[in-house]
Amino acid sequence: MRLVGGRALAGRFRSAANDNHTAHRLSVEWSRIEPAPGRWDDDALAHYREMVRGLRERGLTPLVTLHHFVNPHWVSERNAWESGEGVALFSRYVEKVVSALGEQVDFWATINEPNIYMYFGWISGAFPPGKKDFWLAMRVAANLLRAHAAAYRVIHAAQPHALVGLPVHFRPNLPANPNFAPDGWVARGQFELFSSLFTDAIQSGKLRQLLRPSVSIPEARGTHDYVGLNYYSTDVTRFDLTNPMELFGRRGFPPESETDGSGLYASYPPGLFASLKWAHRLKLPIYITENGIGGEEDSLRRRYLVSHLRQVWRAVNFNWDVRGYFHWSLLDNFEWERGWTHRFGLYALDTATQTRTPRPSAHLYAEICRTRSLSSDLVERFAPELLDSLFPG
């Protein structure tokens, strides 16, 4: 992550404020704050204080994420998440950040998408450390859960009133053939060992494992004040003996979905409603902490935005406790192993000049935020192809 200067920050926050946003999610970078063990960078902490102060001054509530896939190099060299040392190291870092930012921040996410981090780092090998070891991944999952629990207590010791959560990447799994039992088994197994793994462990204090007894982590029980839901897509799963690393299931998209060309995400709005229904059972406030679609073709982003927000409206009509929605993302971002090739922003970013240009979806979202509604007039202006299906008659 590159720390941008004050003028660029002001421009970024001004865009969000001018577009009627009321909250902004951002991450702090552990390696900037603690570049060497026990050595703290006060300038980096001051920079983040400037960021959250700037958000507050513009009427934006900051949601601060403390770990978003990235570690200091020295933490990685020590294999700290595999050995368990990462729990104490992360707790110490969280204490430092909360002490520095707590005057402006009381809404926290501890570890973003621990299921993604575990899967891509230790099962598929697409993220560092690039390993493919299922049982080592399960050990990492247990240590991530312990680190979250420790961070939760550190934050609440300093801020009893804080909201602290663990956003998970949530992908419903539908069996390709509901009448074929193996499809149902693998769909359920993938769901339980990915989407619901960490949240279920927080509810029970036990981390589920495959063909082994659950790992008891009693200190994790009850350590979330809200359900953080990152929803992008839904999977259709088919039994496949040739794919053991994904529990003998082969995933694809629902046939009626609309893909963004990445092979990773497709627009399937009913999946967001199903995800909110699952979250509602936990009887906690729900925040949609990420939702969006990639690609340069903005008409898909507009269709995705209005069709998924309609599912949020459906959930609210059932009196489900949905408190907030964060679109991913305000600007095009460096999208991990895909770099700048997969763009999610409401604003297009010129990486050479840092110029931000609003896409039509930015204007659409600004109007939704301004009116706090999704009207037929807005859909007719920005996604007319959906007008008849969203507003029949």
Buried b (16+ CB within 10 A) or exposed e, 313-347: ebbeeeebbbebbbbbbbbbeebeeeeeebbbbbb
Residue 291 belongs to domain spanning: 6-390
Token output for 65: 């994420």
Token output for 332: 């095009």
Domain assignment present for residue 187? The answer is yes
> Quick one: pLDDT band at residue 296, thresholds 50, 70, 90?
confident
Find the CATH number of the domain harbouring 162. 3.20.20.80
| pLDDT for res 136 | 97
Domain assignment present for residue 1? The answer is no
Three-state DSSP string of 284-304 = CCEEEEECCCCCCCHHHHHHH
Average pLDDT, the chain: 95
pLDDT in tens, 28-51: 999 999 999 999 999 999 999 999
> Quick one: pLDDT band at residue 4, thresholds 50, 70, 90?
very low
Domain assignment present for residue 57? The answer is yes
**DSSP H or E run through 159:** none
pLDDT in tens, 97-125: 999 999 999 999 999 999 999 999 999 99
pTM comes to 0.96
Residue 50: name the closest of 40, 36, 34, 62 by CA.
62
Q: Concatenated DSSP letters for 314-378? A: HHHHTT--EEEE--S-SB----GGGGGGS---SEEE-TTT--EEE-HHHHHHHHHHHHTS--HHH
Domain assignment present for residue 35? The answer is yes
Answer for the pair 240, 185: CB distance below 8 angstroms, yes or no.
no
| pLDDT for res 100 | 98
Section 13-21 average pLDDT: 95
Answer for the pair 391, 376: CB distance below 8 angstroms, yes or no.
yes
Q: 134-158 and 85-101 helices cross at what angle (nearest 10)? A: 30
| pLDDT for res 12 | 73
Burial class from Cβ neighbours inside 10 Å (0-12, 13-18, 19+) for residue 192 reads middle
Residue 347: name the closest of 327, 361, 331, 335 by CA.
331
Token output for 56: 């507050």
- CA-to-CA separations, 203 to 195, 207, 224, in angstroms, rounded: 14, 10, 9
Separation CA 271–CA 257 (nearest Å): 10
Domain assignment present for residue 20? The answer is yes
Section 330-355 average pLDDT: 95
Section 321-339 average pLDDT: 96
Domain assignment present for residue 326? The answer is yes
Other C-beta atoms closer than 10 Å to the C-beta of 210 total 11
- Adjacent-strand bridge partners of 238: 250
pLDDT at 235 over 80: yes
pLDDT at 308 over 80: yes
5-19, 111-125, 160-174, 251-265: least confidently modelled range: 5-19
Section 366-392 average pLDDT: 97
Token output for 25: 């999610």
Buried b (16+ CB within 10 A) or exposed e, 60-77: bbbbbbbbbbbbbeebee
pLDDT in tens, 45-88: 999 999 999 999 999 999 999 999 999 999 999 999 999 999 99
Section 14-31 average pLDDT: 97
Number of domain units in the chain: 1
| pLDDT for res 87 | 98
Answer for the pair 349, 308: CB distance below 8 angstroms, yes or no.
no
